[in-house]
Amino acid sequence: MDRNEVETVLASVKVDTMADRITLFQIGPEGLLWTRFADGVQEPVFPFWTEIGTGVAGLAALRGTVVVCGPSSDESSPIAPIRDEMTGYETHDLLAVPVFNQEGVLLGVIECINRRSGTFSETDSDLVRPHLEALRQLLLVEDDRWKDQVKRALPSARLYLRLRPKLDWQQGALMQEVSPFSYDKKFSGFRDCAKEAKFLLDVISRWRPDGRRILDLACGTGGHSVELALLGFDVTGIDLDLRQITAAEHKAEQGGLDIRFLQADMCAFSLAEEFDLVFNFFYGMQNVLLAREQQDRCLACIRSALTQRGLLVLDFLNEKANLHQFPPDVDHMIDDGMKSGLRIRSRSRILNDQFKVLEMHFQSFSQPELEVTERYPLRRMYLSDAQKLIEEAGFRVLEVAGDFALGAAFDPEFSPRMIFTAEKI
């Protein structure tokens, strides 16, 4: 497709949708949605980007559905004000439509800005539909000039990721989808903190028997910290979300336990104390930290918080096994709700070879009208990706377990998790 053809495709989308402007985003480096085309925007602003789950295009990517935002829609998510400041262009309403390839993998998002008459509504996505094939083709065409532009913009994107810790992951990265259920209620069936603490006890007894000081990274509501304190360890927990910290403190207080909980960003912390073991459970390295840049920074902080030959324990979802145990684009019943009181269904959607979205639907068994769907973007990681990440950060891998059951060997095809134990070198 040459430049003229590209211009023709985009111009006809604009005319047919009655948009004043259009922006075409493509999923690219660091899992960001990069502008492949944005009319009215020149370098140095172009290319700009948004995160999966942030802004209207990011929301369409995360949900995999059409998103409308503007005065007439229910969506109160922000219309990226920074971009308006930079370009001096005022945005009133937006329509974002995800563009998938034939296999249903997300390629990008087309965003129509400011309807020239009235405001956008969901039915306007019908106006985009006839152009989807052409947009798909356009996104599949390699463009070296665009790649160079993205490369140049990458350092500032990384700086942004570094400076802005993500706080909004908790509502499935989403603003309005406030859950009627507490964190502990939603995830009680997914965790067994006592068992997971015993797993750490086993690790520490075998590899660093004199180790006592443990750091629970992104500790959430403190379930693991409490169990470890009960086992006699000296525990510190950090989390970015003050609400989680408050819940954790309450738990410790009720158990009469002395645990330090601090609000800190796992990608930018430095504590006065040193630790014999630092751990992160429940896939934080993949769903809290999506960009490789963030993962590297987190590992650098961990490394400096550890004593000499201190231990690192990281819990990853085993992508290989997950793909065939829970095939994408199909609903899986995770909990029928009989015992736990919450019916839980999950479904995943592959965004590209690096990212997927895990969609969880929670519904109260006794009050079915109480329900919420949360979506978590996740960095897809295979054994070799996790190993490389850890080794490149200055650690030696000691062992990989496939589960928290003691002695669970890792089976690449069937183990649900990849729990790495590594030591600082």
Ligand X SMILES: C[S@@+](CC[C@H](N)C(=O)[O-])C[C@H]1O[C@@H](n2cnc3c(N)ncnc32)[C@H](O)[C@@H]1O
Q: What does the binding site for ligand X look like in residue numbers (CB under 6 A)?
A: 165-166, 169-170, 191, 218-220, 223, 239-241, 244, 265-267, 281-282, 284, 288
Smallest separation (angstroms) from ligand X to the CB of 376: 8
For the chain, give the number of residues.
Answer: 425
Nearer of residues 20 and 192 to ligand X, judged by Cβ? 192
CB of 275 to ligand X, least distance (A): 15
Alpha carbons 216 and 257: distance in angstroms, whole number: 15
- Count of other CB atoms within 10 angstroms of residue 384: 9
Select 128 or 290, whichever has its Cβ closest to ligand X: 290
> Could you say which DSSP state residue 90 is in?
P
Judged by beta carbon, residue 276 or residue 315, the one nearer ligand X is 315
Of 139 and 240, which has the nearer Cβ to ligand X? Answer: 240
For 146, phi then psi, to 5°, come to -65, -40
Cα separation of 63 and 136, whole Å? 18
What is the end-to-end Cα distance of the chain in Å, rounded? 50
Distance of closest approach, residue 370 Cβ to ligand X, in angstroms? 21
Q: Which is nearer to ligand X, 165 or 394 (CB)?
A: 165
Please, what is the minimum distance in Å from the beta carbon of residue 306 to ligand X? Answer: 17
- Closest approach, Cβ 153 to ligand X, in A, equals 23
Nearer to ligand X, 227 or 265 (CB): 265
Residue number, 111 or 241, with CB nearest to ligand X? 241
Residue 219 Cβ vs ligand X, minimum distance, rounded to whole Å: 6
Phi, psi of 359, rounded to the nearest 5 degrees: -105, 125
Element (H, E) at 374: strand 371-379
The residue number with the shortest CB distance to ligand X is 220
Q: Contacts for 78-87 with beta carbons within 8 Å, 24 or more apart?
A: 79/55, 80/50, 80/55, 80/56, 83/45, 83/48, 86/45, 86/48, 87/40, 87/41, 87/45
If the CB atoms of residues 143 and 177 are measured against ligand X, the closer one turns out to be 177
- Residue (87 or 373) nearer to ligand X, CB: 373
Q: Per-residue b/e over 75-108, b at no fewer than 16 CB within 10 Å?
A: bebebbeebeeebeeebebbbbbbbbeeeeebbb
The rounded distance, in Å, linking the Cα atoms of 158 and 343 is 39
* Minimal distance, residue 290 CB to ligand X, in Å: 11
Q: How far is the CB of 132 from ligand X (least distance, A)?
A: 34
3-state secondary structure of 325: helix
Distance, CA of 217 to chain centre: 16
Could you tell me the smallest distance in angstroms from the CB atom of residue 73 to ligand X? 28
Which residues are 216's β-sheet partners? Answer: 237, 279
Q: DSSP for 163-204?
A: HS---GGGGTT-SS---SS-HHHHHGGG--HHHHHHHHHHHH
